[in-house]
Every structure is written in structure tokens, then in C-alpha cells.
A and B are shown apart, each in its own frame.
Chain A
Amino acid sequence: MAIYSQRPTCIVPPDLLKRLILEGDSEVRVRALETLSLDISVRQARAEIAGRRDFDTRPLGSLVDAGGTPNRVIHDQAQATTGVGAVARGEGQPASKDSAVNEAYDGLGATYKFYWEACRRDSIDAAGMLMDGLVHYGTNYNNAMWDGDQMLFGDGDGLLFTRFTASLDVIGHELTHGVTQYELNLVYSSQAGALNESMSDVMGSLVKQYALKQTAPQADWLIGPDCVGPKLKPALRSMKAPGTANSYDNQPADMDGYVKTMEDHGGVHTNSGIPNHAFYLLAIKLGGNAWERAGRIWYETLRDPKLRPNSGFRSFASATVRQAGIIYGTSSAEVSAVREAWSAVKVL
């Protein structure tokens, strides 16, 4: 049914309508409310149509309700930093004697399970993509990363970091970089880059909460407590209290502390504290399991066709409000909670 064969336009701006609601007499108020309500419905319909259009452009595999089974391959790099090491454990194979191999296998499995069961997403590309994990990458290598196709995990030097495979939220973080690449593909610089990082922290934390069956108030909201060494204890980042995770944590919790820098792609691991904290505030406000409502809003925002790869904090925040409205209704408690969360971190 072509309700909007021509794109409707609103002659009266929404701000004027809002003023009429506040200042007009009773009849004007009623008319203005009706018009504003229609305007919101049209905007919502547009967003939904755009969402369906986007869905239609997805790989055929994602249109079929198939999946539900991960496809994992863990490679042992044996300290090499080039090439791909020998397969240490493939999908369905028995456990290895190597803890790092089994942790990567189980962590990727838990991440797949979260995305499938909570988001109905079939792997990194939503079409059953193979999940390759490379363990024992480098010698005393103090990092884990997504290289565009696969995840690399170092063993740490024992002082700053320990084995990264021991950290389920870090595994979820890295795999989510892949998910973001296949969805909004946020540019890895400045605010878009900080959103890219934050999305990985949010989903990484939700992967852990889902596996541990923790509600939002029960969760620790820490990133990396299981892979930091003595110099960085107790964790890398805190979504609950950005800037307090360790002695060197300089993440801001709101826009007053926003850091302008050329380092680290424009401070992507620093300013991610702001959207991280907004998500935490939303999850606590909504209560219950964070992946059910707060997580769903964030995940649908990652797939919002109106957002662009270079979106900044305000665009992203507005998109979360829009998605909350689409999912729960524009006058829902969820929409109010999303607005409050972004307002608290001084983005909206």
C-alpha cells in the first residue's frame, strides 16, 4: 500500500508546533498536538521504510532464517606476526592442551551465541562468516586487534598485560569491530572512531553479561579486567566510571572532558568513554538485562541507514533516540531514558 507515493513535507516546523502547544489556546493546542503527532509518525515511517530498504540490500544469506551455528578456526601463530599459523582447533574439534586456543575458541563461541540469540545476527557479516582467531601472536605482544578479516591475540608481557584470550569482553570487543565494519563502518578517527571503539566496548561488555547471565546492576561494566597485568590493574576501562579503571585511565565521562588530540587516531580510545557512559546510564535506568532493551537500541542504531560512516556523537545519539522510538514508541519510557542518558553526558 503506497501511503506516501509522494514524500510528505511539513510546512510548519516542529519547533513552531511545540511553541503553539505550550503557548496557544486550547483549540490551537489540540490542533498543534495532532499535527506534531502526524509529523512524528511520518518521520517514524520514513525511518522504518529506510530500514527495510537497507535490509533488502543485505546478502541473501541474511534473509534466510538459517544459522545459529558458529564456524570457528583457531590458529597458533607460535609468536609469528606474519602469515597465518597452523590450525590448532577447528569447529567441533576437541579441546586443545593449549589454554589460549581453548579460550579463543570458547570466547568466539560465546560472542557468536550472543549475537545470534540476542540480536538474531549470524556471525560477523550477518551471513555466517568464518571466525578466525590467531593466538600467540608476537612475542610478549601487548595487544589484541581486528585486522579487517580476523582477530589477533597476543600473550602480553606479564606486566602491562596478560593473555588477551582470557578476556571475554576483549574477544567480544574485537569481533564487534568486524560487525561494525559490515554495518555502519564507522571511520576510525575522532568522534566516529570513538563511536567505533565504544560500540566494541558496549557489545563486548554485553557478550560478557549475557554469558554470565548478569543484569545491568549486577555487571561490573569493566573492560579487560581479565587481561591486565599488575601495572594496569584492575581494568582497562570502566563504563560505569570512565577515568577510574587504572592509574593511567584518562577517559572522560562527558563532553566537558572531551580530548582533542592527534594521538591514537584522534583519541578514539579516550573519548569513547563518553558514549560508553551514556550506554551504562541507559542500561541502569532501564534495569534488567542490558542486552534486551539498551543493547537492542544500540545494535539497531549500528544498522540505521540514516547514519553515515563519519557520524559524530550528536548524530549517533539522535539515531539512538530514533531507533528507541521505532522499537518502543516515540512517547515510551525507553525514548525518555535514551534522551536522559545522552543529556547526562552533555551530548544532547
Chain B
Amino acid sequence: MTGSTKPPRNTGMQLRFVQTGGVGGVKLVAEINTSQLPPSETASIEHLVDAALAEAPPKTETSRVRDDLQYEVHVTRGGTTTSFHASERDLAPNVAALVKRLAERAEPRR
């Protein structure tokens, strides 16, 4: 068939998740392109990301916690990257849900 127009390609969302700290000090990383996930999972993760980004960051205070896990999430969409950092002890609910989901896919890195 000629003259047909291809539908716009869904480039999805690129996610980079980095977990550091903890008593082990082991770095875990997950890199996800949501367009490469099954459609149901894409929608679910993108919904979690949007909810986490919309959530007001919790107030962080000088902490006496030691060996807490630290998280970095970088979200790239349409050429724009948004990042946030959080400690496991001050996670807002939607951020906690996203972190839990991404941590399941993370693997150790040097």
C-alpha cells in the first residue's frame, strides 16, 4: 500500500532508577523504556510516575537515621528529564509505590 501514513511512534518514557546506601552500600540500577513493556504494564508504570511527580515532596529534616536506602529517579519524556531524590524514611505514598515497583527491576552495579 502506498501513500499511507504511519501512526506516530510511541516513544514512551525513559526511567532510570538508582538505589544506594543501606547497610550493604550496594548500588542497584534499573533502566526502563516504557514503550518496550507490555501495554498494561506501560500504563501502570506511567501512571505511577505521574502520580509520584505530582506529589509534593515530603519535608526533609536533619536525620539521625543511619544506613537508610537512598533513591534517585530520572524521568525522561519528550526530551525533558525530571529527577528527584528521596530517602526511604521520607517517602511520600506515591513515590513509595513507584520506588517499590522500580526496585523490583533493579540489579546490582559496581
Contacts and interface: CB of A to CB of B under 8 A. Distances in A.
A149 to B, nearest CB: 8
B67 A160 contact: no
Nearest to B18: A263
Interface string A220-246: 000010001001100011000000000
Interface of A is mostly: mixed
B57 interface: no
A269 interface: yes
Interface stretch (A61-69, A114-122, A173-181): A173-181
Contacts of B60: none
Contact of A174 (B18, B64, B67, B72): B67
Nearest to A161: B24
Contact-residue bracket for chain A: 35 or more
Contacts of A228: 24
A147 to B, nearest CB: 5
A133 B48 CA distance: 33
A177 B67 CA distance: 9
B68 A145 contact: yes
What range describes how many residues of B lie at the interface?
20 to 34
Given A224-B24, A247-B110, 20 more contacts: A147-B65, A148-B63, A148-B64, A160-B26, A173-B67, A174-B23, A174-B66, A177-B67, A181-B64, A236-B23, A236-B24, A248-B27, A248-B110, A263-B27, A263-B72, A264-B20, A264-B21, A264-B70, A268-B21, A269-B21
Interface in B65-86: 65-70, 72
A269 B25 contact: yes
A184 interface: no
Interface string A244-262: 0001111000000000000
16 contacts: A143-B69, A145-B67, A146-B66, A160-B108, A161-B24, A196-B66, A236-B23, A236-B26, A248-B26, A263-B20, A263-B72, A264-B27, A264-B70, A265-B21, A269-B20, A269-B21
